[in-house]
């Protein structure tokens, strides 16, 4: 007896371990770490392709922007309905989020009901599928006794690839997994849902956000773990999302901050990138699927396909005589007879072998002990490959995040969901182990979303709802700034009335229409060396201009800029002009021309009543200047006096020029058709060539004269009151010249930053910005400089576009004055000097 036992013992030892033949048969499915590193690198390259504007259209890995810009911060709140469509179960839910703050998160309560969806609906017409969705929603409201009268915000988890331009709009790119309802591809899924809800009727639902299940999973897990910046689904399908730097997302404007990107990694390999890893079984699974050639990576990884892969391997092994003594049953030949649940059961700890036997018997087979061990091993290899591939994909994403943030190590949490991950006994452990082995420098935590994705979808919706209501309030606040065509036409008409009244009036008028005593634009014969002095706003510019003989464009310019301190702008007139004389002295030294006694043009960018080219009485200061004893005085004289007081150099001030006039002249030197000069700077003003017959207040024998309109004063008589906002009133009241320059205060650089600051203050006080905290800095006048506006606003063609819209009969060219108005002032000086010499 003992001898017989010993013989059979040795005989069994001599027989091969049944897992070995499986290993040999499936060697292509057993991926080593170097292969995983290779796959990971390929996936990184695919991600780059999908993100870049040039290659995204053709990319296999779509990298879809989700418009979710942050993970939860605890301030989300509200009650939401939620729909979860695309996973193995279709669910309707109610999610209540109670607000917390920061690290202390609020509470979330959820109620859900699963509604079955038939195969016919998944393969039928999309409107019918969506009708079913909305009818289920209505049933849910009824069953849970939720009011039909009230408006309910709704979050929609839709787990298929959508191209989103907003949170509540997404075009379905293609179906995947087991759905292919007709008539939705290329259409807006949110609209399709809204239409279905309308068709069902009797509910007041506001669909606020649509999110992919990966995104919703990341948000769900992010609610409890602030490090969660990746969401992965290993379920019916497979996919991952993560927080990408916005500067890398070419398809979305803006560079600041992050946005969650739905990778749609299931499509990895659709362009052949994985061909050397694809087995004949993968090819068969793909060929028999509803979307052949598509979702290649998904078909190697996810629950819809794992059981089928195992069946095809077992079938082939049996046919080759490697299993069941070569016997094959009808059931084993039938698609779908081994499911992913079977795969999980076969790998169950302790009961796995028994489960395998039961499953095989159920399939009409008569397995030996070795057959059971071999089939169990097939399952292991197939599911192991799946977790290895997911690990390679994840390693690519985590490496990218690490590189994006220039970190050597990364602490991060991955939120995971899906039946494969949840129900397969070995899967999570294997996945975690491989990820950690591939990325030893990263501290990766995995969190299972045990409540599904709807909590996360509701959190996204809560943010969307808060943003929508904020946006509405912000829009309401800003509405008075948006002038429609009708209002602009009115302003145009009033400006015209103001210009005409100013031309006629000898006395004061809102639009002053000051004669400049400049009769021509330049003709190119101007020659010589001139000084141009330019006091315009916060700066004083001294310039030496040389016009070379015979060469129209051969002008040489040398200049120096001096900043005028506020105490000088607002001190005494004498001090101000002494300062200017000192700057001129410095410039003459700098240029080595102190003894030259050059003719000079003085650009003085404030309203002056001129009676000749070289005199001008300051009517009133504008733009923050209020030096005393200047208004009512001839500013040319004041400068001459200051130079005399210095007794150091001599200048021949030949012309007094407004900056608009200088600008017009400067541009007209380049383009003889230029007859309008516009300043949109610290102040706002325009000049133009007017027919002398229209200028009633002077009597000169010439055909035209340039008129400095001083249009900044429009509205000083109340004519703009209907478009002036409370913020403008505030800015005016706080200025050095309340009630004056009302048009200028609506348009120019000196005031725009202040207007924005007033708006920011108001929005903050209303709790719409900065969490309602008004800081001392924000309360400081002038803190928000106009240059910030130009940094924030890139919207620059507006002036030109609107001008064309309001004056369609005119063909206007805008020519920026490259060298400021100084060259123009020098040109005027040149002409005036020639006249003096004649």
Q: Residues interacting with ligand BG6, by CB under 6 A?
A: 84, 86-89, 157, 159, 213, 216, 233, 235-236, 303, 417-419, 452-453
Binds ligand GLC by CB under 6 A, chosen from 18, 266, 352, 393: 266
What's the min distance (Å) between Cβ of 330 and ligand GLC? 31
622 contacts ligand GLC (rule: CB under 6 A): yes
Please name the residues in contact with 9: beta carbons below 8 A apart, sequence gap of 6 or more: none
Closest CA to 152 of 207, 109, 96, 115: 207
Q: How far is the CB of 77 from ligand BG6 (least distance, A)?
A: 21
Q: How many C-beta atoms lie closer than 10 Å to residue 541's C-beta?
A: 19
Spatial contact of 380 and 30, defined as CB atoms under 8 Å apart? no
The partner in contact with residue 167, picked from ligand BG6, ligand GLC, none with C-beta cut-offs of 5 to 8 angstroms by kind, is none
Task: Find the binder of ligand GLC among 607, 616, 662, 824 (CB under 6 A).
Answer: 607
CB 656 within 8 A of CB 610: yes
Cα–Cα distance, 679 to 691 (Å, whole number): 22
Nearer to ligand GLC, 230 or 760 (CB): 230
Cα separation of the two ends of the chain: 143
Tokens of 786: 């106009």
C-beta of 414: minimal distance to ligand BG6 in Å? 15
Partner that binds at residue 536, options ligand GLC, ligand BG6, none, CB closer than 5 to 8 Å by kind? ligand GLC
Tell me which of ligand BG6, ligand GLC, none is bound by residue 161, counting a contact when its beta carbon lies within the kind-specific cut-off of 5 to 8 angstroms.
ligand GLC
Catalytic residues: 541, 605, 659
Q: Provide, rounded to whole angstroms, the least separation between the CB of residue 449 and ligand BG6.
A: 6
Map the footprint of ligand GLC across residues 16-35, applying CB under 6 A: none
Q: Which of 90, 140, 160, 743 binds ligand GLC (CB under 6 A)?
A: 160
Give me Rg for the CA atoms of the chain.
39
Residues 87-146 that bind ligand GLC (CB under 6 A): 87
Provide the sign of the torsion angle of the four alpha carbons 633, 634, 635, 641, taken in this order.
negative
* Rounded least distance, CB 22 to ligand GLC, Å: 29
Torsions phi, psi for 92 (to 5 deg): -115, 140
Residue 237 or 753: which CB sits closer to ligand GLC? 237
Give the nearest distance from C-beta 751 to ligand GLC in angstroms.
11
* Identified binder of ligand GLC from the candidate list 134, 136, 214, 709, rule CB under 6 A: 214
Task: Report if residue 536 touches ligand GLC, rule: CB under 6 A.
Answer: yes
592 strand-pairing partners: none
3 state SS for 393-458: HHHHHHHHHHHHCCCCCEEEEEEEECHHHHHCCCHHHHHHHHHHHHCCCEEEEEEECCCCCHHHHH
Return the structure tokens found at 622.
Answer: 């504008």
Candidates 388, 437, 310, 431; CA nearest to 31 is 388
Six token digits for residue 114: 């699963």
For the bound state, the minimum distance from the C-beta of residue 307 to ligand BG6, rounded and expressed in Å, comes to 13
Q: Among 84, 168, 213, 819, which residue interacts with ligand GLC (rule: CB under 6 A)?
A: 213
Q: Which of residues 709-728 bind ligand GLC (CB under 6 A)?
A: 710, 712
Strands 151-158 and 78-85: parallel
Q: Is 419 one of the binding residues for ligand GLC (CB under 6 A)?
A: no
From the CB of 804, what's the least distance to ligand GLC, in Å?
23
Count of residues of this chain found to bind ligand GLC when the rule CB under 6 A is applied = 36
Q: Which is nearer to ligand GLC, 200 or 622 (CB)?
A: 622
Candidates 40, 136, 239, 356: give the one binding ligand GLC (CB under 6 A). Answer: 239
Which phi and psi (to 5°) does residue 191 adopt?
A: -65, -40
334 phi/psi in degrees, rounded to 5: -95, 130
Query: What is the C-alpha separation between 603 and 822, in angstroms, rounded?
Result: 7
* 456 touches ligand GLC by CB under 6 A: no
Identify residues 644-683 at the interface with ligand GLC (CB under 6 A): 658-660, 679, 681-683
Binding of ligand GLC by 465 (CB under 6 A): no
- In this structure, how many other beta carbons lie within 10 angstroms of the beta carbon of residue 145? 6
Q: Which residue has the tokens 């009151």?
A: 721
Residue closer to ligand BG6, measured from CB, 347 or 417: 417
Place of tokens 């009033």: 494
At 505 the three-state DSSP class reads coil
Distance CA 754, CA 737 (A): 15
Judged by the rule CB under 6 A, the positions of this chain that interact with ligand GLC are 86-87, 159-161, 176-177, 212-214, 233, 235, 237-239, 264, 266, 298, 536, 605-607, 622-623, 658-660, 679, 681-685, 710, 712, 744
């Amino acid at each position: 007896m003992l001898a017989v036992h010993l013989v059979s013992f040795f005989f069994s030892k001599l027989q091969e371990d049944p897992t070995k033949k499986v290993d040999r048969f499936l060697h292509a499915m057993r991926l080593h770490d170097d292969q995983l590193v290779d796959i990971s690198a390929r996936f990184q390259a695919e991600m780059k392709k999908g993100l870049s504007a040039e290659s995204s259209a053709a990319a296999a890995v779509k990298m879809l922007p989700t418009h979710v810009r942050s993970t939860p911060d605890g301030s989300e709140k509200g009650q939401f309905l939620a729909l979860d469509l695309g996973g193995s179960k279709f669910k309707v839910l109610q999610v209540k989020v109670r607000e917390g703050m920061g690290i202390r998160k609020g509470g979330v309560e959820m109620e859900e009901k699963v509604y079955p969806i038939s195969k016919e609906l998944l393969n039928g017409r999309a409107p019918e599928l969506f009708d079913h969705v909305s009818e289920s929603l209505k049933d849910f409201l009824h069953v849970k006794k939720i009011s039909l009268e009230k408006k309910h915000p709704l979050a929609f988890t839709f787990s298929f690839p959508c191209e989103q331009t907003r949170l509540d709009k997404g075009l379905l790119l293609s179906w995947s997994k087991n759905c292919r309802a007709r008539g939705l591809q290329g259409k807006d899924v949110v609209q399709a849902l809204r239409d279905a809800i309308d068709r069902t009727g009797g509910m007041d639902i506001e669909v606020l956000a649509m999110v992919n299940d990966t995104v919703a999973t990341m948000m769900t897990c992010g609610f409890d773990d602030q490090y969660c910046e990746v969401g992965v689904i290993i379920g019916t399908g497979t996919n991952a999302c993560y927080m990408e730097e916005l500067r890398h997302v070419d398809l979305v404007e803006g560079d600041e901050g992050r946005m969650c990107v739905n990778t749609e990694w299931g499509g990895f390999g659709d362009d052949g990138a994985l061909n050397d890893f694809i087995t004949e079984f993968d090819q068969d699974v793909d060929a028999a699927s509803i979307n052949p050639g598509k979702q290649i990576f998904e078909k190697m990884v996810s629950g819809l396909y794992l059981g089928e892969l195992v069946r095809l391997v077992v079938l082939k092994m049996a046919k080759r005589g490697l299993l069941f003594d070569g016997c094959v049953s009808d059931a084993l030949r039938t698609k779908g007879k081994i499911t992913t649940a079977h795969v999980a059961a076969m790998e169950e700890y302790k009961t796995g072998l028994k489960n395998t036997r039961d499953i095989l018997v159920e399939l009409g087979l008569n397995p030996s002990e070795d057959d059971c061990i071999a089939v169990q091993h097939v399952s292991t290899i197939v599911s192991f490959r799946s977790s290895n591939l997911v690990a390679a994909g994840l390693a690519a994403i985590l490496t990218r995040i690490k590189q994006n943030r220039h970190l050597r190590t990364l602490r991060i949490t991955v939120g995971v969901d899906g039946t494969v991950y949840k129900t397969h006994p070995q899967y999570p452990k294997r996945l975690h182990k491989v990820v950690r082995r591939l990325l030893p420098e990263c501290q990766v935590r995995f969190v299972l979303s045990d409540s599904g994705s709807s909590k996360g979808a509701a959190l996204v919706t809560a943010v969307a709802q808060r943003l929508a209501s904020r946006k509405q309030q912000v829009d309401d606040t800003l509405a008075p700034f948006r002038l429609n065509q009708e209002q602009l036409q009115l302003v145009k008409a009033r400006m015209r009335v103001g210009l005409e009244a100013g031309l006629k009036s000898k006395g004061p008028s809102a639009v002053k229409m000051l004669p400049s005593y400049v009769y021509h634009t330049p003709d190119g014969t101007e020659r010589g060396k001139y000084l141009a002095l330019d006091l315009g706003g916060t700066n004083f510019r001294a310039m030496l201009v040389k016009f070379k003989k015979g060469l129209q464009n051969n002008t040489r310019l040398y200049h120096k800029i001096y900043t005028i301190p506020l105490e000088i702008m607002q001190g005494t007139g004498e001090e101000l002009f002494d300062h200017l004389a000192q700057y001129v002295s410095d410039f003459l030294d700098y240029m080595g021309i102190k003894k030259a006694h050059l003719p000079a043009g003085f650009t003085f960018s404030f309203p002056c009543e001129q009676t000749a080219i070289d005199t001008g009485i300051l009517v009133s200061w504008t733009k923050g200047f209020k030096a005393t004893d200047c208004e009512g005085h001839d500013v040319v004289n004041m400068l001459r006096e200051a130079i005399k007081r210095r007794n150091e150099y001599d200048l021949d001030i030949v012309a007094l020029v407004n900056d608009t006039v200088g600008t017009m002249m400067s541009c007209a030197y380049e383009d003889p058709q230029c007859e309008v000069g516009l300043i949109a700077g610290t102040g706002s003003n325009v000049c133009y060539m007017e027919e002398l017959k229209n200028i009633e207040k002077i009597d000169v024998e010439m055909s035209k004269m340039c008129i400095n309109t001083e249009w900044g004063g429009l509205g000083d008589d109340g004519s703009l009151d209907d478009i002036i906002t409370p913020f403008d009133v505030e800015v005016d009241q706080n200025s050095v010249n309340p009630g004056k320059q009302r048009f200028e205060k609506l348009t120019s650089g000196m005031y725009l930053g202040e207007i924005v600051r007033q708006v920011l203050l108001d929005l903050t006080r209303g709790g719409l910005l900065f969490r309602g905290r008004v800081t001392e800095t924000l309360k400081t006048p002038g803190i928000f400089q106009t240059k910030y506006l130009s940094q924030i606003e890139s919207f620059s063609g507006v002036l030109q576009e609107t001008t064309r819209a309001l004056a369609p009969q005119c063909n206007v060219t805008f020519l920026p004055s490259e060298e400021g108005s100084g060259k123009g002032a020098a040109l005027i000086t040149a002409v005036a000097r020639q006249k003096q010499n004649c």
